[in-house]
Amino acid sequence: MQNLVSIDFHGATLIARHGNTPATTLVAMKPVVEGMHLNWDTQRRKIVEHPILGTCAVNLTVQLPGDIQHREVVFLPLNRLNFWLATIQPNKVPAPETRARIIRYQEECADVLFAHFFGQATGIAVDIQDLAAAVAGLRQEVAELRTAYDPRIAVLDFISVRELLDQAKALPKGRNGLNRRIGNALRRLALKDGVSLRQCPRTGTWLFPAEFGRGWMRTHGAALVRQHNGAAIGQGVLRFPDRRARSPDAPDSATPSA
């Protein structure tokens, strides 16, 4: 689960976890944010609450270089790093030095990380790992192009969390939190096991191999769906009237005694 790589960048140390493609290569966001001299708590909240970045952010428990214990760290896929960098407005930062660092990161950070993992080899020697990563990236692009051309192709092999919840008969009320929770769990497991994922090129929705997603739902997701459905219907807490027979001559309990 560790497999962390340190990359020097203008006096800061960036931390990333190598994947087969930019979509599965994860970048630890706190070192990036602090390297830009920005407030981490503010940026973490913006990432988690963002409608797109919040769906692809991954929390992993790792031990960062120089730390003495494992901590939960927020990662973004490398192919989403530029998206986040574009949300930072340098003109709103009054300090000239910080503004200059932000612009430098926006111009170079994602490219430096990409080149570190997927850059072209020099001369005629070709690194086998880089070649395998390039082939995997091409396969991903071809799959996305096929999906964009005919969305029915993705339905045959891949499935979204929403479809998994529909098949599991999860009640629609308050399902957003359950959707995020299951999506994060599936992405973590896929990254751990090297399972290939896709993203819909139009909506950005993560798509999982159908059998992988359904298998996880049978073993783990079913309990979450039962818990969600129980909460959605109030866990069956209903009050029924007392139907015990009463004598017609018995006084009404609501009538005060004389």
Position 197 scores a pLDDT of 80
pLDDT at 17: 92
**pLDDT tens-place string over residues 25-52:** 999 999 999 999 999 999 999 999 999 9
pLDDT at 236: 46
Q: What is the pLDDT of residue 86?
A: 92
pLDDT recorded at residue 78: 94
CA distance 175 to 161: 11
Cα distances (Å, whole numbers) of residue 221 to 4, 44, 79 = 29, 27, 28
pLDDT tens-place string over residues 55-70: 999 999 888 777 778 8
Would you state the pLDDT for residue 158?
86
Q: How far apart are CA 97 and CA 82, in angstroms?
A: 21
The segments of the chain whose pLDDT lies below 50 read 1, 120-129, 147-155, 236-240, 253-258
Own/partner long-range contacts of 150-154 (Cβ < 8 Å, ≥24 apart): 154/198, 154/200, 154/207
Q: What is the pTM of this model?
A: 0.47
Cβ-in-10-Å burial (0-12, 13-18, 19+) of 203 comes to exposed
